[in-house]
Structure 1
Amino acid sequence: MKAYKDLKDVGKAFDELKNFLKIRPIYHRTDKRVKGHVYVCILALLLKRLIEKKTDEPFNKTMQELEKLKANMLEFRGKKIIQRNQINNTQKQLLESLEIIEPPKVLNVETKNQS
């Protein structure tokens, strides 16, 4: 029964990951693809559990907060600038607990080609 529950948790974690990444349904016709799917499911569950352990928060709550982080592209004086939005205190704490370095405010600056 425990093995079945663990398998169900793995499948649920993979579904959550697919929904988060907006991946289309996956169908398998070969053993190699089935093994790959199981491997990704186990990695998804491991990642989910590690996030929960490091943050002491449910995975969904953590992801809901981190999904608010966005990057926007602006054009200013012939330059394309990619800039992230403001990080709030909760997001800062989550990034610290996950040992992720806070991304810089300006992620990229490109000069447009004047052809």
Structure 2
Amino acid sequence: MSATSLQTVPDLIQAKRFEVVNDEGKVVASFYANMGGGMLSFSNKDGEVVAGLGSDEVNGGGVLGINNKDGKRVAGIHADENGGVARVFNNKFTEVAGIRATPDGGVLGLFNNEGKLTSSLP
């Protein structure tokens, strides 16, 4: 069909899940419903999920997760009852840095590889 031909475009397309696959047939992106709402997920060429964006199933706020090439979570941002939370994890999924809003303002925390708080502001 040529670019100047009229094409029928549907007004609405509904599904519980949409997937984008690469030339090898591996899913590299998906958009789907979860218990909290909608989720958008991206995978690398090996099929590991490396990023996700959507609605948190627990509190219904927004969530962004960043994973390493093996699909293990290394960073995340989400909303909670006080505002925003950003967390950085080591390769054992232990939090090593975090910043969050509290009722009294912002808090920054740094942790060792075992997750023990080593310093914080304020």
TM-score, normalized by length of structure 1? 0.27
- Structure number with higher helix proportion: 1
